[in-house]
Amino acid sequence: MQPDKLDALTYWALDYLSRTPDRSLRAMLDAAIERKYSASPGETFYTGGGAQTFNNFEATDNSRILTVHRAFQHSVNLVFVRMMRDIVHYEMIQTVGPQSQWLDDPAARHLYLTRFADQESRVYMGRFYKKYHGRSNDEALAIMLRNVRKSPPKIATVLRSVNPDESQEWFDARMRAALKGTPAEWLSSEDLANLYAKYGVDKFNLNDRGYIASVHPLELWTVNYLRNHPLASVDDIQEASRDVRATTYSWLFKTRYHATQDRRIKRMAEAEAFVQIGKSWRALGYPFASLTPSYAAAVGASGDRPAALAQLIGTIANDGKTLPTQSIATLEFAKDTPYETRFAHAATAPRAVLSPEICDVVHQLLRDVVLGGTAKRLADGITLPDGRRLDVYGKTGTGDQRLNVFARGARLIESRKVNRTATFVFAIGDRFFGTLTAYVHEPYAARYDFTSALSVQLLKSLTPALQSLLGDGDSATLASPAAGSDERVSDVR
């Protein structure tokens, strides 16, 4: 078997199985978490349709090469970004086949490029519709001209494109207004007449006019279309622009853009891989219909809700079995009367969503986070009044969401803290699980620099208040059972 060169995970699996006498799943999983990745933030990752860079929380990790086990214990971002890349590449091969099937086959290339052109052009059309819909003709023109350099050819191209049937007098007035305060302000009537004739829609195609004006061709088309169809819906404009959208992307199909085509095709294959990854995540409780197609999903960009994290760790605590979370077990009406009515949840059989071997390995990883990692404040567990000690295991996460504004040359001119979060998803003993999240939104987020250690310390500080619940078996059974439990694990939130 010769795996695709993009598929690092299959390469590793074949190499491992060829060298080990123990081919059990547990042994292979134990070996997998000892795989090593660089933690260097110096690489630019091309994912999610763009170039992205990532940082580690601790700068001291930047020069290290760490195992997955160690990186999980200490929350080292770049290891998981690189591991996510391997997972995405694996799913790309599983979903759309080896690269040779979609990069070397002309028919497949054309199909992927056509789909890419349609999808991306629809995004642009939706963006331009939102920008110009409901504006008067003069307002729409003014909005467009704000971002056009004050050059006679550029202004003339915009004017002749968005309203090609207007008169010379209308054109002259708009040109003089747009060029006011520039050396071209005093163009003669003859010069303006020449510009009017030179940049008409019959002289250049839409792509060329977009190039001359430095405006997206579909933006020029949208403003012109809305002038003539002011009541058009976004669906109307998508349908009406079908042919022009295809024409706008005709350059992409030229053979001299082979490298550009490859990048677009890989982006489409990556998106299909993320669809499959999203399905597997949803089976484990991920609460959203789709997953952002970016390696950043591995380090928090996926936006899991606290309840979903609690459900996941409850599933792990129950050896991979899950049940729907329930807040109410029974309802009783008119008790001890002839009209007494009682409702109870119908019994639901536990559903296995993870293998016990995977849960065992993850359980150990989570325990090591507490014993010697980012949650070591709870390394001693929780001691009950009767002297019994309950082990704690879990995973921490710190979120620092910022809005950065860049000028030309990638120069940072503004950085605003939008959200600050600190999360600890945990299990206590073999009965209780939950999530603790500290969250601050702007403008207050700028005042705080806490980490996930805050949530860990909060759980530790809450121990006295939780002891009666944790230690009283009768009370414990009143809590919600964990996903897939036979009342073995209960949710604490």
pLDDT recorded at residue 62 = 94
Considering the domain architecture, whether residues 413 and 316 belong to the same structural domain is answered as yes
Residues 40 and 74 in one domain: yes
Q: Which domain holds residue 441?
A: 308-323+353-491
State residue 389's pLDDT score.
86
Q: What is the pTM of this model?
A: 0.81
Considering the domain boundaries, does residue 345 fall inside one?
no
| CA–CA gap between residue 296 and residue 109 (Å, rounded) | 27
Q: How confident is the model at residue 237 (pLDDT cuts 50, 70, 90)?
A: very high
- The per-residue pLDDT for 358 is 95
Cα distances (Å, whole numbers) of residue 225 to 16, 161, 236, 244: 60, 10, 11, 12
d(CA 57, CA 60): 9
**Average pLDDT, rounded, for the chain:** 88
453 occurs within a structural domain: yes
Least confident piece of the model among 48-52, 64-68, 218-222? 48-52
Q: Are residues 120 and 139 in the same domain?
A: no
The string of pLDDT tens digits covering residues 408-426 is 777 878 788 878 888 999 9
Q: Are residues 58 and 142 in the same domain?
A: no
Residue identified by tokens 């999530």 is 435
| Mean pLDDT calculated for residue range 85-91 | 95
Q: What is the pLDDT of residue 472?
A: 62
* pLDDT of 483 strictly over 70: no
Residues 361 and 485 in one domain: yes
Do 316 and 437 belong to one domain? Answer: yes
User: Angle CA(252)–CA(255)–CA(257) in degrees, nearest 5?
Assistant: 50
Instruction: With respect to residue 96, please indicate whether it lies within any of the assigned structural domains.
Output: yes
Q: Which of 71-75, 149-153, 400-404, 475-479 has the lowest mean pLDDT?
A: 475-479
Q: Which residue has the higher pLDDT, 15 or 183?
A: 15
Query: What percent of the chain is modeled with pLDDT above 70?
Result: 95
At 212 the pLDDT is: 95
Tell me: the pLDDT tens digits for 197-207? 999 999 999 99
Average pLDDT of the residues in 260-283: 92
Lowest model confidence (mean pLDDT) among 226-240, 315-329, 362-376, 462-476: 462-476
Task: Count the domains in the chain.
Answer: 3
Q: What is the pLDDT of residue 162?
A: 93
Residue carrying structure tokens 């008169």: 167
Place of tokens 């086949």: 97
| Domain presence at residue 331 | no
Span 287-312, average pLDDT: 85
Q: Does the structure show a pLDDT above 60 at 299?
A: yes
Instruction: Please tell me the predicted confidence (pLDDT) of residue 79.
Output: 96
- Asked whether residue 246 is domain-assigned, the answer is no
152 lies in the same domain as 282: no
Same domain, 415 and 485: yes
In this structure, the answer to whether residues 215 and 297 fall within a common structural domain is: no
240 falls within a domain: no
Q: How far apart are CA 460 and CA 426, in angstroms?
A: 12
Residues 280 and 396 placed together within one structural domain of the fold = no
CB 427 within 8 A of CB 487: no
**Are both 313 and 420 inside the same structural domain?**
yes
Q: Is the pLDDT of residue 324 over 80?
A: no
Q: Is residue 67 part of a domain?
A: yes
Tens digits of residue pLDDT in 137-183:
999 999 999 989 999 999 999 999 999 989 999 999 999 999 988 88
Does the pLDDT of residue 490 top 70, yes or no? Answer: no
Strand, coil or helix: 395: strand
Residue 477 reports pLDDT greater than 70: no
pLDDT digits (tens, 9 = 90+) for 115-145: 999 999 999 999 999 999 999 999 999 999 9
pLDDT tens, residue by residue, 429-475? 888 899 998 888 888 877 877 788 888 999 999 888 887 787 765 33
Measured in residues, the chain has a length of 493
pLDDT above 90: percentage of residues in the chain = 58
Three-state secondary-structure class, residue 51 = strand
**Judgement on whether residues 280 and 317 belong to the same structural domain of the protein:** no
* 151 occurs within a structural domain: yes
| CA–CA distances in Å: residue 417 to residues 58, 300, 410, 479 | 19, 16, 19, 37
